[in-house]
Amino acid sequence: MKPTIVTAFAVLALLSSIGASCVNDDVLVVLNLGPIVGKYRVPPGENTTFAGSITIRLDSLIPPGYASTLKQARVYDIRVRVEGAYDGRVSGESHVKVGSGTRTSLIKFPASGSAPWSSFSTPQSLLGSSPLLAPDPSGISQLLQAFSTTPLPTITLFADGHLDVAPVPGNLYVIVEVYLQADATLN
Amino acid sequence: MHLIQRFRFLISGSLVAAIVLVAGVARAESDFEKILRQQNQTNVQGYMQPIADLFGANLHSGFNHSAYIPQSGFHFRFDIMAMAGLVQDDQMSYEAQSPEGFTPSKFKTATIFGGKGGSVPNPIAPGDTNLAYKGSDGLFSTTIFPLAAPQITIGHVYGTEAVIRYVPIPEIGSLPAITLWSLGARHSVSQYLEGFPIDLAVGAMYSSFSVGDLVTVKGYAAALQASKEWTVFLIYGSLQMEKSTLTLSYKTTDPNATNQTINIDLEGSNVFRATIGGGLSLGFLKLYADANFGAITSVSGGIGFGF
């Protein structure tokens, strides 16, 4: 009888632990990260240029516990939009800098020349294949490489450009949003 | 071995099994919670639905054995139940919702039982893996989803017996408390059908399983059972209606989720099953195994000690 009972408990213990032993060792969990949002004010007046930057700590985007287990990242959208009313045209470019590295172009809006300010009142998106956006693979690549840097560096997102008609009214903003995913291991 | 010694041995064995269970479950539960918290309201249903289907089916397995229930007399039996739902191919992937703007609007990716997560390319650069949206990998690599539980059967009063399952695992470190309990009753129909060639019984059971505040599964089942015994051999079958609901309650870490607090009910797909099985009755020792056919195919088996 005793060997039978021992066997029974061995089977029970084995069955109970099957779920755990079948957990994949190389599971990648996808982290949807908060967008990096740069909001740049266009100064009012006769000057028609604008420029600005925001700096964030990359680890501030990562859910707790995952900063040391990141494997790779992706950009799944970049959106450019404007706030404020203006009758002229705009052209601009956003750059990215990782830590104290060099500035690299991330996206131009539009690809060349200029576009009506009002055309950006509706957010222009890579997902919408917007003809007004021209992403630069080198900037995207530099941004994504930051996720494999230890410790996680700061990211600076720049935007600069100009409008075509002065005077520039007040309360104009250009907003660049970068949407990211990162893959992390569970352990 | 004296009866009291046998049950003392059973209790000691249960403790050993519980320790093994906790050690194994700790990692699985921790990984499960981590991966769950990355899911938003939109995609958690597809990712987790197979768990609701399989766990619901397991919860209601192993309830139907011999339909022979005497009208009176003391009866006590301790069973160790093991059940396993079979993971089907179509439970390894699902159609996830792409973020607004992606074409196509849905993409095929792994469920919790799947392999590598699928992705949908960005239309502006379809071949660029740096510009894509991806689903998480599956967590479990298994073709069966098991559950084990002890069960006590006590009777008989007016041809009725009570069935109890109870597994309390207290909170240990970061592992939340896990509790499984079931309460059921089976009633002999044969006692009203004198001379009927097989034993018949009806039964009903309510079950609850919880992992902290994160996961709750509740369900009930009602069954018509039939069996026939020849000396030590038993064959049995049953038809069972059942319902199970898995509730997930957590805060997602997805910053793009419209609501960070997720409360979602996932209905188990198994609502009806037919069971066929057999057993051996060797005095104090009972052995049985059965197969269950419904939306979920599952098997269960067990070993019982009692009289």
Helix/strand/coil (H/E/C) assignment for every residue in A77-103: EEEEEEECCCCCEEEEEEEEEECCCCC
- Cα–Cα distance between B55 and B37 in angstroms, integer? 20
Question: Does B9 or A72 have the greater pLDDT score?
Answer: A72
Least confident of B45-49, B101-105, B302-306: B101-105
| Chain A residue closest in CA terms to B148 | A16
CATH topology of domain B2-87+142-306: Lipocalin (2.40.128)
- The rounded percent of chain B whose pLDDT value lies above 90 is 62
Residues ≥6 apart with Cβ < 8 Å to B212: B171, B176, B177, B178
Helix A2-21 to helix B3-37 angle (10° resolution) is: 0
Tokens of B88: 């089907």
Give the confidence band of A3 by pLDDT, cuts at 50, 70, 90: low
Cβ contact B292:B300 at 8 Å: yes
pLDDT at B27: 58
Residue whose token pair is 């404007």: A82
pLDDT at B258: 83
pLDDT at A21: 52
- What amino acid occupies position B85? G
Q: Domains along chain A?
A: 26-185 (2.60.120)
Question: Does B170 or A141 have the greater pLDDT score?
Answer: A141
Q: Where are the domains of chain B?
A: 2-87+142-306, 88-134
ipTM over 0.95: no
> Measured between CB atoms, does A132 come within 8 Å of chain B?
no
- The rounded percent of chain A whose pLDDT value lies above 90 is 73
Touching B: A residues 93-122, CB under 8 Å:
none
pLDDT at B142: 87
Produce one character per residue of A7-39: b if its CB has 16 or more CB atoms within 10 Å, e if not: ebbebbbbbbbbbbebbbeebbbbbbbbbbebe
Mean pLDDT of B52-63: 93
Residues from chain A contacting residue B122 (CB–CB below 8 Å): 76-77, 126-127
> Measured between CB atoms, does B128 come within 8 Å of chain A?
yes
- What amino acid occupies position B150? P
Touching B: A residues 42-101, CB under 8 Å:
63, 65, 74-77
At residue A1, does pLDDT exceed 60?
Answer: no
Closest C-alpha to B66, from B298, B288, B302: B288
Residue B29 φ/ψ, nearest 5 degrees: -65, -40
Residues ≥6 apart with Cβ < 8 Å to A61: A33, A34, A36, A180
Interface test with B, best of A1, A2, A7, A29 (most B CBs within 10 A): A29
Give the confidence band of B247 by pLDDT, cuts at 50, 70, 90: very high
Cβ contact A134:A110 at 8 Å: yes
Segment B136-188, tens digit of pLDDT? 999 888 888 888 899 999 999 999 999 999 988 887 766 678 899 999 999 99
pTM of the model: 0.82
Rg of chain B over CA atoms, in angstroms? Answer: 22
pLDDT at A17: 46
SS3 A151: coil
Residue whose token pair is 């408390």: B177
Residues from chain A contacting residue B10 (CB–CB below 8 Å): 5
The distance of A50 to chain B (nearest Cα, Å) reads 27
* Distance spanning both ends of chain A, measured CA to CA: 42
Highest mean pLDDT among B96-105, B119-128, B178-187: B178-187
